[in-house]
């Protein structure tokens, strides 16, 4: 009986935590590690913008400067996430990927995109966009 | 009270003292003594089994209390999480610059625009890189159009 109650309690707690966790867009991606590891580091700018109600998208970005480790981690994580990507676009410079676009397989009706840029001067930009609109990337980039 | 039932309980009690009784038999004795509190001649046994019964009752009470607290705590956690998430969803616009948190939505939006500009510049690079191929594609189409008549002739020959 005691074990049953403990299991029940644990299930309740896990349900709550799972519910909390499911709200974040990148939790199932390898790229999430980069946001977690370097989001609050010195020389980093991390942005999290939830505009799902207003403009129909969720935006998350990380810009790091003079942080080679972050670039290496981002590239290796993107390489892993690439396996679940529907479309991949890459730009190489001197044999190294400088810009990567991943269009991931939709999750729960949301289209998901990862954008990465290494400017070659130790500055990295990592962007994650999630939306129900499959053309969101075009819309956002056109606004620029 | 039927005599044979009392005799049966007495034999079970003897078995208990001899250390040969099973758990079920002990439960049976305890149940009998609880259900017959006025029956004389079982005071010592009532004290023994009554103690065990009370102990068990306390344990059950503890479990019930534990269950109530657990359920209440779990509901509280879920409700708090939901509330926090709902609140955070309303104004979920944050930025961390060098580890310092900024929650001014205008500043956050400006930072988002800035980070996006780093990748949008490169979006043009892709388009530019693909442009020569698009031109080449037109040229190839033009060149191949010369042979479109040949294809028609070949088809006629086959017939």
Calculate mean pLDDT across residues A10-38. Answer: 72
Cα gap A43→A39, rounded to integer Å: 9
Q: Is A122 on the interface with B (CB under 8 A)?
A: no
Name which of A15, A47, A144 is nearest B117 (Cβ-Cβ). A144
Q: Is A17 on the interface with B (CB under 8 A)?
A: yes
Residue A93: predicted pLDDT:
86
Higher pLDDT: A18 or B63? It is: B63
Higher pLDDT: B95 or B146? It is: B95
User: Is the pLDDT reported for residue A63 higher than 90?
Assistant: yes
Residue A21: predicted pLDDT:
46
Cα gap A127→A25, rounded to integer Å: 12
Strand partners, A93: A96
pLDDT digits (tens, 9 = 90+) for B108-144: 988 988 888 888 765 565 566 556 656 656 666 666 6
**pLDDT-derived band of residue B156, with 50, 70 and 90 as boundaries?**
low
Reading the block at residue A51, the tokens are 């505009």
Q: Which of B99, B102, B120 is nearest to A64 (CA)?
A: B99
Calculate mean pLDDT across residues B8-31. Answer: 87
User: Is the pLDDT reported for residue A122 higher than 50?
Assistant: yes
Distances (CA, A) of B5 to B2, B22, B32, B50, B151: 5, 18, 10, 20, 109
B83 Cα distance to chain centroid: 18
Q: Which of B82, B73, B7 is nearest to B39 (CA)?
A: B7
Please state, for a pLDDT cut of 90, what percent of chain A lies above it. 49
ipTM for the predicted complex comes to: 0.76
Residue B67: predicted pLDDT:
76
B6 Cα distance to chain centroid: 53
For chain B, the C-alpha Rg in angstroms (whole number) is: 44
Name which of A1, A116, A117 is nearest B63 (Cβ-Cβ). A1
Calculate mean pLDDT across residues B19-35. Answer: 85
Q: Which of B47, B9, B43 is nearest to B26 (CA)?
A: B9
Cα gap B20→B22, rounded to integer Å: 7
Q: Any idea which residue has 């693909």 for tokens?
A: B130
Give A103→chain B minimum CA distance, Å: 14
User: Is the pLDDT reported for residue A70 higher than 50?
Assistant: yes
Q: Is A57 on the interface with B (CB under 8 A)?
A: no
Least confident piece of the model among A31-40, A91-100, A129-138, B64-73? B64-73
Cα gap B50→A56, rounded to integer Å: 68
Calculate mean pLDDT across residues A94-112. Answer: 90
pLDDT digits (tens, 9 = 90+) for A78-94: 999 999 899 998 888 88
Residue B59: predicted pLDDT:
58
Q: Is B114 on the interface with A (CB under 8 A)?
A: yes
């Amino acid at each position: 009986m005691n074990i049953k109650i403990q299991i029940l309690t644990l299930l309740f707690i896990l349900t709550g935590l799972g519910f909390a966790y499911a709200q974040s867009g990148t939790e199932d991606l390898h790229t999430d590690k980069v946001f977690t590891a370097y989001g609050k580091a010195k020389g980093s700018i991390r942005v999290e913008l939830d505009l799902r109600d207003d403009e129909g998208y969720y935006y998350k970005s990380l810009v790091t400067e003079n942080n080679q480790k972050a670039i290496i981690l981002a590239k290796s994580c993107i390489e892993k996430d690439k396996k679940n990507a529907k479309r991949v676009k890459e730009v190489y410079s001197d044999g190294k990927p400088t810009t990567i676009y991943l269009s991931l397989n939709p999750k729960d009706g949301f289209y998901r995109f990862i954008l990465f840029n290494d400017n070659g001067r130790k500055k990295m930009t990592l962007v994650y966009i999630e939306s129900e609109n499959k053309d969101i990337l075009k819309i956002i980039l056109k606004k620029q | 009270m039927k005599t044979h039932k009392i005799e049966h309980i007495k034999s079970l009690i003897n078995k208990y003292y001899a250390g040969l009784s099973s758990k079920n038999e002990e439960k049976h004795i305890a149940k009998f003594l609880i259900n017959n509190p006025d029956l004389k001649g079982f005071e010592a046994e009532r004290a023994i089994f009554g103690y065990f019964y009370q102990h068990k009752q306390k344990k059950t009470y503890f479990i019930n209390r534990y269950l109530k607290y657990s359920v209440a705590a779990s509901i509280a956690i879920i409700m708090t999480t939901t509330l926090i998430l709902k609140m955070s969803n309303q104004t979920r616009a944050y930025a961390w610059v060098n580890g310092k948190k900024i929650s001014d939505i205008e500043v956050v939006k400006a930072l988002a625009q800035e980070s996006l500009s780093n990748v949008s510049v490169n979006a043009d690079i892709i388009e530019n890189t693909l442009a020569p191929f698009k031109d080449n594609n037109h040229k190839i189409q033009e060149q191949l159009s010369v042979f479109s008549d040949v294809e028609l002739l070949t088809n006629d020959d086959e017939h």
